[in-house]
Structure 1
Amino acid sequence: MGIFKKLGWYFKQERRRYGIGVLALLLVAIVNLIPPKIIGSMVDAMNRRSVTAHKLVIWLGILLLAGVGQYLFRFAWRTQIWGGAAKLERTLRTRLFWHFMRMDATFYQKHRTGDLMAHATNDLNAIQNVAGAGVLTLFDSIITGGTTLIAMIILVDWRLTLLAILPMPLLALMARRLGTHLHSAFRDAQAAFSRLNDKTQESVSGVKVIKTFGQEKEDAEDFDNIVDNTIVINRRVNFIDSLFDPTTSLIMGLTYVITIVYGGYLVLHGQITIGQLVSFVAYVAALVWPMFAIGRLFNILERGNASYDRVAELLAEKSSIVEPKQALTTPAAGEIRYAVDHFSYPGDDTNALVDVHFTVPEGSTLGIVGKVGAGKSTIFKLLLREFDNYNGEIDFGGHNIKDYSLDALLDSIGYVPQDNFLFSTTVANNIRFSSYNKSLDEVEQAASESAVHEDIQGFPEGYDTAVGERGVSLSGGQKQRLAIARAVINAPELLILDDALSAVDARTEEEILENLRKDRAHKTTIIAAHRLSSVMHADEIIVLEGGHVIERGTHSQLLAQNGWYAEMWNLQQLESKLDKDSIAKEGGQA
């Protein structure tokens, strides 16, 4: 019953709704006492040979009214109790969704997508069942059982009633023992479902990679192993759960034996009538549901309890990114001063950044280059406040970025990551994702700036073309340019391009960069790239290696230093020349 205590905050909030529902259940139970009594009276009348048409009409009328009453009162409790359960699910689903929105990058490193989906679906459904079927089963069994027992005592015989319910304490003992085992079993089952859900999500998302490397058989075997393990765990749940019904049937069988034996004895000795015995048997039949409901109730409660604990643990996790109480709400703008002494990712003792210091005046462009893993994306993650656990300070417009509200900071930044995520909607809606009030003209302007407008015009439905899940219908270059259009449509104070031009050709790259230089003449831009032509026009370029700044200066200054930058520039120029010669040779042969 601990789950009801855990959900006490909700039941207190919705006490009127559940009060009406429980009252309707009570009225249903009272109305349900009428048919057995009428049947018993009819049996006694037939035994006395005193049945008349008038009496029969009255009895049938009462039964009809009882049926109508049952319908109305059942409709009332269904509306209130099931409505309350649906509202709880909506409340928890909303709370969990916003929790996901507020959590930091560390949270998503710790929890896999499939596991989070299992919490948001399977676990919440189990909790909803507590507020719906759980509440119904608990009160219906208590009310139905209680009113039936009272009717048995008052309308039939208290001695017969007392003997008939003697086996029932055994049911309570059984339910308590099995319930303890069910809780741990259900928790294991929910965890197994999370693993299965995560594997399914991962395999579907990575199906192209799986096929490319010919790993279909191996992945299917891995999936089968997880399924087999889930089945084994659920068999334990089913084994424990299946013990409720036969145990309940055995106990109810003992009740029927006592009723028939002792009730027959009372009839033979004239202490009750045959009609009362018939009514009593009907009342015992009415007790079957409350008895079986105990098994069902423990099933629902233990599932819900295990799921609530899992969801509560998730909701209890706190983001390390905290806004100050008196946060700046004005949009960030101005010079950027980046001074990080050292930073390492949570759980990693290796420094990802060491003594990274630079200043980006408002309206200027900074280029960041270096080998893979040098720390380029890490610089951006700190600037976007994905992590705050660094030694140093990052200022934007003369204020520490930690002093801004997240909305004020992030609304001032347009970010194009290496891995471009597009949503399963139209091209236009992907571009105006951050501002759905943008007109089609503004969308087209952003697309032109990112050199993707002509491509879009060639799509089957133009800007109304659906891009598919994660932009599956688009090429890598088209996805990159759509992501750039999405970032520039709001003309952010700071635009960050994190290797965002890697999938476009040199001519398109130059066109995009020229458009950005013209349209963002008074706004700040930071470009990280492997292709040095992307940053050659930057006001300053820094070269990273192992999280350190090893070179800095303009393009010409870095070439004069004859270091890593100059070496890579010469190599890339040679590769470009070879590519042009190869194309020219193929054209001549044609």
Structure 2
Amino acid sequence: MKHLLKMTPTFFERNRTGDLMARATNDLKAISITAGFGVLTLVDSSIFMLTILFTMGFFISWELTLVSIIPLPIMAFLVNVYGKKIHSKFTSAQDAFGELNDRVLESVSGVRVIRAYVQEKSDESKFHDLTEDVYRKNVEVAKIDSLFEPTIKILVGMSYLIGLGYGAFLVFQQKLTLGELVSFNVYLGMLIWPMFAIGELINVMQRGNASLDRLSGTLSYKEDVADPVQPVEGNEPEFLQMSEFTFKYPSSNVNNLDNIKLHLNRGETLGIVGKTGSGKTTLIKQLLREYPEGSGDLLVSGVPIQEHSLRQTRGWMGYVPQENILFSRSVKENILFGNPMATEKDLQEIIDLAAFRKDLEMLPEGLETLVGEKGVALSGGQKQRISIARALIKDPEILILDDSLSAVDAKTEKKIIDNIRKERNAKTTIITTHRMSAVEHADHIVVLEDGKIIEEGTHEQLIAAQGWYYEQYIKQQASAVEEEVHSV
């Protein structure tokens, strides 16, 4: 888990969540069995077998002992062949299980959409196909597994046959007494268990190796964004500055941010607006250091952001993403996630700041109401306000609202913005939005298009320029007036 928490979005774009869950559960279980039962069996069976062989050779006959274990190299060869097949088949079975996990996760998360589009039968069919695939591949593993026991029994029988035959010959040659031959066969019978144990050991170890290979692929993935060797210590971010900053995603062929120039002093509010896909969230991700830095300068208090530790940089920020991530806990626990040490007084104040008091009174158990998986028990607006409360209770130096007011009405939006302006007048706030009303008060507003700043200034300056910002503002104001008339 520690390794996964260090990974950037690039890693999760390349790895399915269900498969990662399978690696963190089934594969770890297979490895733990190998490390526990496997190692114990290896030591136990090896010592026991060597002791018996030494006793047979030293006290009875080295000649008969060596002849009797002629089948052992054959067993070693066959078990090795079976082991390689087990490795291959088990890897395939685990991959199939990971795919099944991912499918179940998607189906449960998207159950509302599946029902809305009447795709239950189709989803059941796909689940059935994946289940059959997992079953079929595990049967293939079981088939190889079933070869171990008969193979070992046949080879043990051959050892018995050779031991009796050659032992009888030595008795006739008077090189061995009848009593020694009987004792030899007793010892030979004692070798059956370690032979079976070694066969099972190979089986377990190959499964463990297959799981280790899968897990190693995850653990060997290097961090895209890492702490500097000697991070610069800073108290508070006095200003943020971007100078000729350019960035593109690893999977992109074009620049997603192009020659961005910004300067934001502590205590100021920055509004970022633009069309969908213009680069608003991409710019925010650079501040959060979710991806390796691009070219140009991104400075915090005059120091390149990559020279600060990740813990410090992210510790400065309170982030409310577009997709509101809530944990399957109570409303209270979700809010306090931003600051577990907050007092009850702090909690009540933040609820008012996030304009959540009225909704809270409507919830069946108030703050103790469970929000369900990803907040499924709440409306979109309620989830957004809980997310905002979680960020505000942290009292961050830099508050980032990434289109975080889209699910609330204009009146509630204004109330939240006014509360934030009043309580955070000495701290930095960054707001990305499609609603111009959310950034009217901002000290500086930038308009993005295709990753470039095409307009910037205060609200008044952008209105006077009569560009894209002006057009959108007029349209939205007209729509707001029309809605108000209809509501009356």
**Shorter-normalised TM-score: what interval?**
over 0.9
Q: For 1:456-500, what per-residue CA distance to the aligned partner results, in whole angstroms no more than 9, with x for missing partners? A: 244333222222221121111111001111111121111110110
Q: 1:249 aligns with which of 153, 163, 187?
A: 153
Q: For 1:82-130, what per-residue CA distance to the aligned partner results, in whole angstroms no more than 9, with x for missing partners? A: xxxxxxxxxxxxxxx2111112221121112112212211222222122
Separation in structure 2 between the aligned mates of residue 447 and residue 338 of structure 1, nearest angstrom: 34
Task: Determine if the alignment matches structure 1 residue 581 to structure 2 residue 485.
Answer: yes
Separation in structure 1 between the aligned mates of residue 235 and residue 120 of structure 2, nearest angstrom: 50
> What amino acid is the match of 2:438?
S
Task: Determine if the alignment matches structure 1 residue 124 to structure 2 residue 28.
Answer: yes
Separation in structure 2 between the aligned mates of residue 121 and residue 187 of structure 1, nearest angstrom: 14
Kindly state the Cα deviation for residue 256 of structure 1 after the two structures are TM-superposed: 3.4
> What amino acid is the match of 1:215?
Q
Q: 2:5 aligns with which of 101, 118, 122?
A: 101
Kindly state the Cα deviation for residue 276 of structure 1 after the two structures are TM-superposed: 6.5
Separation in structure 2 between the aligned mates of residue 440 and residue 272 of structure 1, nearest angstrom: 89
Q: 1:379 aligns with which of 274, 280, 283?
A: 283
Identity %: 45
Separation in structure 1 between the aligned mates of residue 411 and residue 169 of structure 2, nearest angstrom: 103
Kindly state the Cα deviation for residue 288 of structure 1 after the two structures are TM-superposed: 1.6
Q: 1:395 aligns with which of 279, 299, 309?
A: 299
Q: How does 1:422-441 map to 2 (within 5 A)?
A: 422-441=326-345
**CA contact under 8 A between 1:428 and 1:440: conserved in structure 2?**
no
Separation in structure 2 between the aligned mates of residue 349 and residue 498 of structure 1, nearest angstrom: 25
Kindly state the Cα deviation for residue 273 of structure 1 after the two structures are TM-superposed: 8.3
Task: Determine if the alignment matches structure 1 residue 561 to structure 2 residue 465.
Answer: yes
Quote the residue 2:382 is aligned against: 478
Quote the residue 2:430 is aligned against: 526
Kindly state the Cα deviation for residue 523 of structure 1 after the two structures are TM-superposed: 0.8
**Structure 1, unaligned stretches of length 5 or more?**
1-96, 585-590
* SS across alignment from 1:581: helix
Q: For 1:10-32, what per-residue CA distance to the aligned partner results, in whole angstroms no more than 9, with x for missing partners? A: xxxxxxxxxxxxxxxxxxxxxxx
Kindly state the Cα deviation for residue 266 of structure 1 after the two structures are TM-superposed: 8.1
* SS across alignment from 2:297: strand
> What amino acid is the match of 1:190?
Q
> What amino acid is the match of 1:174?
L
Q: How does 1:423-502 map to 2 (within 5 A)?
A: 423-502=327-406
Separation in structure 2 between the aligned mates of residue 483 and residue 181 of structure 1, nearest angstrom: 50
Quote the residue 1:537 is aligned against: 441
**CA contact under 8 A between 2:241 and 2:299: conserved in structure 1?**
yes
Q: How does 1:397-412 map to 2 (within 5 A)?
A: 397-412=301-316
After alignment, is 463-472 or 414-423 more displaced? Answer: 463-472
Quote the residue 1:551 is aligned against: 455
Separation in structure 2 between the aligned mates of residue 274 and residue 430 of structure 1, nearest angstrom: 80
* SS across alignment from 1:374: coil
Kindly state the Cα deviation for residue 212 of structure 1 after the two structures are TM-superposed: 1.8
> What amino acid is the match of 2:387?
A
**CA contact under 8 A between 1:114 and 1:194: conserved in structure 2?**
yes
Q: For 1:268-292, what per-residue CA distance to the aligned partner results, in whole angstroms no more than 9, with x for missing partners? A: 9999888876655543332222111
Quote the residue 1:231 is aligned against: 135
Pick closer, same or farther for the CA change 1:159–1:320 going to 2, 3 Å.
Answer: closer
**CA contact under 8 A between 2:245 and 2:298: conserved in structure 1?**
no
Pick closer, same or farther for the CA change 1:566–1:446 going to 2, 3 Å.
Answer: same
Task: Determine if the alignment matches structure 1 residue 204 to structure 2 residue 108.
Answer: yes
Separation in structure 2 between the aligned mates of residue 404 and residue 170 of structure 1, nearest angstrom: 61
Considering only CA atoms, is the larger Rg found in Structure 1 or Structure 2?
A: 1
**Structure 2, unaligned stretches of length 5 or more?**
none
Pick closer, same or farther for the CA change 1:276–1:527 going to 2, 3 Å.
Answer: same
Q: 2:188 aligns with which of 284, 287, 297?
A: 284
Kindly state the Cα deviation for residue 158 of structure 1 after the two structures are TM-superposed: 5.5
Separation in structure 2 between the aligned mates of residue 494 and residue 525 of structure 1, nearest angstrom: 6
* SS across alignment from 2:191: helix
Separation in structure 2 between the aligned mates of residue 357 and residue 338 of structure 1, nearest angstrom: 5
Separation in structure 1 between the aligned mates of residue 301 and residue 245 of structure 2, nearest angstrom: 20
Quote the residue 1:346 is aligned against: 250
Kindly state the Cα deviation for residue 177 of structure 1 after the two structures are TM-superposed: 2.5
Q: For 1:364-400, what per-residue CA distance to the aligned partner results, in whole angstroms no more than 9, with x for missing partners? A: 1111111111111011001111123412111222222
Kindly state the Cα deviation for residue 514 of structure 1 after the two structures are TM-superposed: 0.8
Quote the residue 1:53 is aligned against: none
Kindly state the Cα deviation for residue 184 of structure 1 after the two structures are TM-superposed: 2.7
**CA contact under 8 A between 1:452 and 1:478: conserved in structure 2?**
yes
* SS across alignment from 1:491: coil
Separation in structure 1 between the aligned mates of residue 358 and residue 184 of structure 2, nearest angstrom: 83
Quote the residue 2:210 is aligned against: 306
Separation in structure 1 between the aligned mates of residue 272 and residue 324 of structure 2, nearest angstrom: 19
> What amino acid is the match of 1:184?
S
> What amino acid is the match of 1:299?
N
After alignment, is 364-373 or 275-284 more displaced? Answer: 275-284
Q: For 1:300-340, what per-residue CA distance to the aligned partner results, in whole angstroms no more than 9, with x for missing partners? A: 11112222222223222212213222212334421221234
Task: Determine if the alignment matches structure 1 residue 115 to structure 2 residue 19.
Answer: yes
**CA contact under 8 A between 1:115 and 1:198: conserved in structure 2?**
yes
Task: Determine if the alignment matches structure 1 residue 195 to structure 2 residue 105.
Answer: no
> What amino acid is the match of 1:346?
P
* SS across alignment from 1:366: strand
Kindly state the Cα deviation for residue 227 of structure 1 after the two structures are TM-superposed: 2.9
Kindly state the Cα deviation for residue 168 of structure 1 after the two structures are TM-superposed: 2.3
> What amino acid is the match of 2:24?
A
**CA contact under 8 A between 1:329 and 1:407: conserved in structure 2?**
no
Separation in structure 1 between the aligned mates of residue 393 and residue 21 of structure 2, nearest angstrom: 32
Pick closer, same or farther for the CA change 1:211–1:277 going to 2, 3 Å.
Answer: farther
> What amino acid is the match of 2:469?
Y
Separation in structure 2 between the aligned mates of residue 251 and residue 373 of structure 1, nearest angstrom: 68
**CA contact under 8 A between 2:268 and 2:427: conserved in structure 1?**
yes
> What amino acid is the match of 1:461?
E
**CA contact under 8 A between 1:331 and 1:412: conserved in structure 2?**
no
**CA contact under 8 A between 2:293 and 2:306: conserved in structure 1?**
no
**CA contact under 8 A between 1:332 and 1:409: conserved in structure 2?**
no
Q: Which has the higher contact order (CA 8 A, sep 6+)?
A: 2
Pick closer, same or farther for the CA change 1:269–1:400 going to 2, 3 Å.
Answer: closer
Q: How does 1:505-516 map to 2 (within 5 A)?
A: 505-516=409-420
After alignment, is 545-554 or 328-337 more displaced? Answer: 328-337
Separation in structure 2 between the aligned mates of residue 105 and residue 340 of structure 1, nearest angstrom: 24
**CA contact under 8 A between 1:117 and 1:197: conserved in structure 2?**
yes
